[in-house]
């Protein structure tokens, strides 16, 4: 079976007004549009073969926004929507091609060097090997969505609250301050 894993990602880690136009465009080119182009390149072969699996690695930031990730979060919200719409389109076509969207919290790859988590037992910085194993199991199990850690599954439930309460909950768990000490790869 052919498997396409769209895992390209880039982050500026800057407040919106500190991001140049080129940086914002680059974020969307890499985090969103690259997924469109690769799927358009590989999906015809998968459809012809009658099998395949497309994995979109988004982010927990595609489920809940945070400061210093405005461009990144917006691009990952787009990636989540891309996967959902593609899944619906494939179902309508009666296609056996599957999709999986992956929404992890921060992964310890260096891309988010310096991020902090207030409650590591609830929102740990994930290890790459663990994430890969979980993605492989999700593919093998034809799961449509993989959100990790499990605590991130509470985001849709909390989202039903009025915005001021939603913001307060994210604030309590430290999500809105997680990028305060961010340095990333490029700034080292």
Q: Which residues are catalytic?
A: 72
CB-neighbour burial class of residue 137 (10 A; exposed 0-12, middle 13-18, buried 19+) = exposed
Residue 86 and residue 54 in contact, taking contact as beta carbons nearer than 8 Å: yes
**Phi, then psi, of 172 in degrees rounded to 5:** -60, -40
* Alpha-carbon torsion angle 174, 180, 185, 186, nearest 10: 150
On whether the CB atoms of residues 114 and 178 are closer than 8 A, the answer is no
Sign of the CA dihedral 67, 72, 75, 76?
negative
E strand map for the chain: 3-6, 53-57, 98-104, 145-148
């Amino acid at each position: 079976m052919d498997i396409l894993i769209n895992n390209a990602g880039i982050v500026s880690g800057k407040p919106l007004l500190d991001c140049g136009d080129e940086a914002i465009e680059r974020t969307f080119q890499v985090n969103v549009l690259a997924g469109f182009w690769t799927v358009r390149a590989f999906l015809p072969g998968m459809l012809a073969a009658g099998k395949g699996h497309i994995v979109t690695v988004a982010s927990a930031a595609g489920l809940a926004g945070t400061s210093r990730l405005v461009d990144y979060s917006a691009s990952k919200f787009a990636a989540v929507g891309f996967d959902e719409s593609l899944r619906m389109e494939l179902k309508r076509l009666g296609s056996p091609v599957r999709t999986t969207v992956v929404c992890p919290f921060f992964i310890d790859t260096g891309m988010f060097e310096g991020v902090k988590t207030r409650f590591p037992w609830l929102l740990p910085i994930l290890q790459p090997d663990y994430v890969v194993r979980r993605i492989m199991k999700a593919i093998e199990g034809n799961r449509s969505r993989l959100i990790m850690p499990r605590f991130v599954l509470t985001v849709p439930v909390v989202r039903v609250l009025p915005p001021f309460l939603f913001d307060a909950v994210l604030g309590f768990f430290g999500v809105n301050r997680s990028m305060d000490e961010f340095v990333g790869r490029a700034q080292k």
